[in-house]
Chains A and B, each alone.
Chain A
Amino acid sequence: MTLDARVDRRQFLRVSALAGGGLLLGTILDFGAGTELFAADAPKVPGGEFSPNAFIRLSRDGSVTIIAKNPEVGQGIKTMLPMLLAEELDVDWTTVKIEQAGLDTVKYTNQVAGGSSATPNHWIPLRRVGAAARAMLVGAAAQTWSVPTAECETSSATVTHRPTGRTLRYVDLLERAATIPAPELDKVTLKDPKSFRIIGTRVRGVDNHAIVTGKPLYGIDVAVPGMLYAVYEKSPVFGGRVKSANLDVVKREPGVRGAFVVEPAGTDLTGLLGGVAIVADSWWLARSARKKLQVEWDEGAGAALSSTSIASNAAALAKQAPQRSLRRDGDIDAALAGAAKVVRAEYFYPFIAHAPLEPQNCTARFADGKLEIWAPTQNPQAARGLVARALGIDEAAITIHLTRGGGGFGRRLMNDYVVEAARIAKETGTPVKLLWTREDDMHHDFYRSAGFHNFTGAVDASGKVVAWRNHFVSFGDAEKFPIATGNPPFAAGAGIGAGEFPARFVPNFALDASVMQQFVPTGFLRAPGSNGIAYATQSFIDELAHAAGKDPLQFRLDLLAGEVPAPSPQQGGLVASRVRGVLELVREKSGWGTQKLPRGTGMGVAFHFSHRGYFAEVVQATVSRVGALKVDKVWVAADVGSQIINPSGAENQVHGSVLDGISEALAQEITIDKGRAVQSNFTDFPLIRMAQSPPVELHWSLTEYPPTGLGEPALPPVVPALCNAIYAATGKRIRSLPLSKHDLSWS
Chain B
Amino acid sequence: MKVSLTVNGKPTSIDAPPDMPLLWVLRDVLDLKGAKYGCGVGQCGACTVHLKGSPVRSCQLPVSALQGAEVTTIEGLSPDGSHPVQRAWDEIDVPQCGYCQAGQIMSAAALLARNPSPTDAQITAAMNGNLCRCATYHRIRDAIHAAAATSAVTPSAPAATTARPRQAGTPRN
Contacts and interface: CB of A to CB of B under 8 A. Distances in A.
Interface of A: 73-76, 193-194, 196, 199-202, 204-205, 207-209, 211-218, 220-221, 223, 229, 254, 282-285, 288, 355-359, 404-409, 435, 437-438, 589, 643-644, 647-649, 651-653, 655-656, 658-660, 663, 681-683, 687-691, 693, 695-700, 702
B97 A74 contact: yes
A647 B162 CA distance: 12
Those 7 A-B pairs whose CB atoms lie nearest each other, nearest first: A214-B34, A74-B97, A406-B99, A200-B173, A659-B135, A214-B74, A699-B169
Contacts of B24: 282-284
Contacts of B163: 202
B145 interface: no
Contact of A688 (B89, B135, B173): B135
Contacts of A656: 96, 134-136
Contact of B41 (A229, A644, A681): A681
B38 interface: yes
Contact of B138 (A76, A211, A405, A696): A696
A207 B39 contact: no
B100 A690 contact: no
Interface of B: 17, 19-21, 24, 28-29, 31-41, 43-44, 46, 73-75, 78, 80-81, 86, 89-91, 93, 95-102, 105, 123-124, 127-141, 160-161, 163, 166-173
A449 to B, nearest CB: 20
Contact of B131 (A215, A404, A651, A689): A689
Nearest to A354: B133
Contacts of A407: 96-97, 99, 133-134
Contact of B93 (A589, A652, A681, A697): A652
B97 A406 contact: yes
28 contacts: A74-B97, A74-B134, A201-B161, A202-B160, A202-B161, A208-B90, A208-B93, A213-B74, A214-B33, A214-B102, A216-B33, A220-B37, A229-B28, A282-B29, A284-B21, A288-B17, A357-B38, A357-B44, A358-B38, A358-B97, A406-B98, A407-B134, A437-B40, A652-B134, A656-B134, A660-B135, A693-B137, A700-B169
A674 to B, nearest CB: 24
Contact of A690 (B31, B37, B140, B166): B140
A432 B46 CA distance: 24
A700 B33 contact: no
Contacts of B141: 690
B66 to A, nearest CB: 14
A682 B131 contact: yes
Contacts of B132: 357
Nearest to A409: B133
Given A200-B172, A218-B99, A687-B133, 16 more contacts: A73-B97, A194-B173, A204-B160, A207-B98, A212-B89, A214-B73, A223-B31, A356-B99, A404-B98, A438-B40, A647-B171, A648-B93, A682-B44, A683-B41, A698-B167, A700-B170
- Interface-centre pick from B28, B38, B44 (highest chain A CB count, 10 A): B38
B87 to A, nearest CB: 8
B86 A212 contact: yes
A69 B25 CA distance: 34
A643 B173 CA distance: 8
Nearest to B167: A651
Contacts of B90: 204, 208-209, 212
B19 to A, nearest CB: 7
B37 A359 contact: yes
Nearest to A653: B96
Contact of B36 (A75, A220, A285): A220
A188 B135 CA distance: 41
Contacts of B169: 589, 698-700
- Interface-centre pick from A648, A653, A659 (highest chain B CB count, 10 A): A648
B91 A690 contact: no
A211 B36 contact: no
Contact of B86 (A213, A359, A702): A213
B100 to A, nearest CB: 5
B20 A284 contact: yes
Contacts of A689: 128-129, 131, 137
Contacts of A194: 173
B71 to A, nearest CB: 13
Given A212-B89, A213-B86, A652 B173 contact: no
Contacts of A214: 32-35, 73-75, 102
B128 A691 contact: yes
A687 B131 contact: yes
Contacts of A356: 97, 99, 133
Contacts of B33: 214-216, 220-221, 223
A494 B137 CA distance: 29
Contacts of A697: 166, 168
Contacts of B98: 74, 205, 207-208, 211, 217, 404, 406
A194 B172 CA distance: 10
A211 B95 contact: yes
A405 B97 contact: yes
Given A207-B98, A214-B35, A220-B36, A698 B46 contact: no
A452 B97 CA distance: 32
Given A202-B161, A204-B93, A214-B74, A652 B168 contact: no
B35 to A, nearest CB: 7
A651 B96 CA distance: 11
A213 B75 CA distance: 6
Contacts of A435: 37
B97 to A, nearest CB: 3
A438 B160 contact: no
- Interface-centre pick from B89, B102, B171 (highest chain A CB count, 10 A): B171
B136 to A, nearest CB: 7
A199 B172 CA distance: 11
A201 B136 CA distance: 20
Contacts of B168: 589, 697-699
A652 B37 contact: no
A75 B96 contact: yes
A200 B173 CA distance: 6
Nearest to A660: B135
Contact of B99 (A358, A409, A681, A687): A358
A663 B17 contact: no
B36 A282 contact: no
Nearest to A73: B97
Nearest to A72: B97
- Interface-centre pick from B74, B81, B140, B163 (highest chain A CB count, 10 A): B81
B137 A659 contact: yes
Contacts of A359: 37-38
B115 to A, nearest CB: 16
Nearest to B83: A212
A361 to B, nearest CB: 9
Contacts of A220: 33, 36-37
A56 B89 CA distance: 29
Contacts of A74: 95-99, 134
A690 B172 contact: no
Nearest to B78: A213
Contact of B97 (A196, A283, A404, A643): A404
- Interface-centre pick from A201, A220, A407 (highest chain B CB count, 10 A): A407
